Amino acid sequence: MEDRIIKTEYSEVMQKSYIDYAMSVIIARALPDIRDGLKPVQRRTLYDMYELGIRADRPYRKSARIVGDTMGKYHPHGDSSIYDALVVMAQDFKKGLPLIDGHGNFGSIEGDGAAAMRYTEARLQKITEEAFLSDLDKDVVDFMPNFDETEKEPVVLPVMIPNFLINGSEGIAVGMATSAPPHNLSEVIDAMKAYMRDESITTRGLMKYIKGPDFPTGGIVINESELQEIYETGVGKIKLRGKAEIEKGKNGHVNLVISEIPYTMIGANIAKFLQDVANLSETKKTQDIVDISNQSSKEGIRIVIELKKDTDVENFKNLLYKKTRLEDTFGVNMLAVYNGRPETMGLRQILQANVDFAYEVTRRKYTTLLQREQERREIQEGLIRACNVIDLVIEILRGSKDRAMAKACLVEGKTDGIKFRSKESKIMAQMLLFTEKQANAILEMRLYKLIGLELDALVKEHDETIANIYRYEDILERKESMAQVIMSELDGYKKAYGRPRRTTLTDAEEAVFEEKKPEEMDVVFMMDRFGYAKTVDVSVYERNKEAADAENKYIFTCKNMGKVCLFTDTGTLHTIKVMDLPYGKFRDKGIPIDNVSNYDSAKENVIFVASQADLNLYRLLFVTSHGMIKVVSGGEFDVSKRMVAATKLNEDDTLLKVAVLTEQRNVILHSKAGYFLRFPIEEIPEMKKTAVGVRGMKLADTEVLEDVYFSQNAVESSIIYNEKTIELNKIKLGSRGSRGTKIRT
Look at residue 435 in the predicted model and tell me its pLDDT: 79
3-class secondary structure, 660? strand
The pLDDT of 439-462, averaged and rounded, is 73
Look at residue 449 in the predicted model and tell me its pLDDT: 63
Q: How far is CA 636 from CA 12, 619, 641, 674, in A?
A: 62, 10, 12, 34
Question: Which of 55-59, 84-88, 312-316, 458-462 is least confident?
Answer: 458-462
The Cα 221–Cα 236 span in angstroms is 13
The confidence band for 723, taking pLDDT boundaries of 50, 70 and 90, is: confident
Residue 497, pLDDT above cutoff 60:
yes
Element (H, E) at 357: helix 347-388
Q: What are the tens digits of pLDDT across the range 100-116?
A: 999 999 999 988 889 99
Q: Nearest CA to 328 among 511, 178, 512, 92?
A: 511
The Cα 326–Cα 321 span in angstroms is 5
The pLDDT of 304-327, averaged and rounded, is 89
Look at residue 584 in the predicted model and tell me its pLDDT: 76
Q: Which domains does the chain have, with CATH numbers?
A: 38-155 (3.90.199.10), 243-325 (3.30.1360.40), 363-497 (1.10.268.10), 522-742 (2.120.10.90)
Q: Nearest CA to 468 among 385, 361, 372?
A: 372
Query: Percent of the chain having pLDDT more than 90?
Result: 60
Residue 426, pLDDT above cutoff 90:
no
**Beta strands per DSSP E along 372-521:** 504-505
The Cα 192–Cα 201 span in angstroms is 11
Question: Which of 99-103, 199-203, 211-215, 373-377 is least confident?
Answer: 373-377
The pLDDT of 507-529, averaged and rounded, is 82
Look at residue 745 in the predicted model and tell me its pLDDT: 64
Question: Which of 26-30, 169-173, 569-573 is least confident?
Answer: 26-30
CB 158: neighbour CB atoms within 10 A?
Answer: 24
Residue 11, pLDDT above cutoff 80:
no
**Beta strands per DSSP E along 132-262:** 143-145, 152-154, 169-172, 177-180, 220-221, 235-241, 243-248, 254-260
Residue 6, pLDDT above cutoff 80:
no
Look at residue 513 in the predicted model and tell me its pLDDT: 66
The confidence band for 702, taking pLDDT boundaries of 50, 70 and 90, is: confident
- 273-278 long-range contacts (CB < 8 A, ≥24 apart) are 273/303, 273/324, 273/325, 273/326, 274/303, 276/323, 276/324, 276/325, 277/305, 277/320, 277/324
Q: Max Cα separation, the chain?
A: 158
Fill in the amino acid letter for 387.
C
Look at residue 210 in the predicted model and tell me its pLDDT: 95
Q: Is the dihedral of CA 718, 724, 730, 736 positive or negative?
A: negative
**DSSP code at position 468:** H
Burial class (CB in 10 A: 0-12, 13-18, 19+), 537: middle
Residue 9, pLDDT above cutoff 90:
no
Residue 730, pLDDT above cutoff 80:
yes
The confidence band for 3, taking pLDDT boundaries of 50, 70 and 90, is: low
Look at residue 627 in the predicted model and tell me its pLDDT: 93
The pLDDT of 325-338, averaged and rounded, is 93
3-class secondary structure, 616? coil
Residue 523, pLDDT above cutoff 60:
yes
Q: Do 686 and 619 contact (CB within 8 A), yes or no?
A: yes
The confidence band for 2, taking pLDDT boundaries of 50, 70 and 90, is: low
The confidence band for 308, taking pLDDT boundaries of 50, 70 and 90, is: confident
Query: Percent of the chain having pLDDT more than 70?
Result: 95
Q: Do 577 and 535 contact (CB within 8 A), yes or no?
A: no
Q: Do 657 and 571 contact (CB within 8 A), yes or no?
A: no
The confidence band for 21, taking pLDDT boundaries of 50, 70 and 90, is: low
Look at residue 386 in the predicted model and tell me its pLDDT: 77
Look at residue 413 in the predicted model and tell me its pLDDT: 72
- Compute the half-sphere exposure of residue 347: CA atoms within 13 Å on the CB side of its CA: 31
Look at residue 427 in the predicted model and tell me its pLDDT: 75
The Cα 49–Cα 61 span in angstroms is 9
Residue 453, pLDDT above cutoff 60:
no
The pLDDT of 194-218, averaged and rounded, is 95
The confidence band for 404, taking pLDDT boundaries of 50, 70 and 90, is: confident
> Phi, psi (5° rounding) for residue 568?
-120, 165
Residue 556, pLDDT above cutoff 80:
yes
Q: What are the tens digits of pLDDT across the range 41-68?
A: 999 999 999 999 999 999 999 999 999 9
Look at residue 249 in the predicted model and tell me its pLDDT: 80
Look at residue 452 in the predicted model and tell me its pLDDT: 57
Highest mean pLDDT out of 18-27, 246-255, 365-374: 365-374
Query: DSSP string spanning 402-419?
Result: SHHHHHHHHHH---TT--
Q: What are the tens digits of pLDDT across the range 338-370?
A: 988 889 999 999 999 999 999 999 999 999 999
Looking at per-residue confidence, does 341 or 435 come out higher?
A: 341
Look at residue 107 in the predicted model and tell me its pLDDT: 92
Q: Nearest CA to 219 among 237, 239, 240, 238?
A: 240
Residues 6+ apart with CB under 8 A from 359: 479, 482, 486
Q: What are the tens digits of pLDDT across the range 157-180?
A: 999 999 999 999 988 766 678 999
Mean pLDDT for all residues in the chain: 88
3-class secondary structure, 630? strand
The confidence band for 532, taking pLDDT boundaries of 50, 70 and 90, is: very high
Angle (deg, nearest 10), helices 436-444 and 347-388: 60
Look at residue 26 in the predicted model and tell me its pLDDT: 58
Q: Nearest CA to 55 among 117, 129, 3, 111?
A: 129
Residue 585, pLDDT above cutoff 90:
no
Residues 6+ apart with CB under 8 A from 6: none
Angle of CA points 640, 643, 646, to nearest 5°: 100
Q: What are the tens digits of pLDDT across the range 607-666?
A: 999 999 999 889 999 999 999 999 999 999 999 899 999 999 999 999 999 999 988 889
The confidence band for 382, taking pLDDT boundaries of 50, 70 and 90, is: confident
Residue 25, pLDDT above cutoff 60:
no
Residue 447, pLDDT above cutoff 70:
no
Give me the active site residues, please: 119
Residues 6+ apart with CB under 8 A from 20: none
Q: Do 64 and 118 contact (CB within 8 A), yes or no?
A: yes
The confidence band for 727, taking pLDDT boundaries of 50, 70 and 90, is: confident
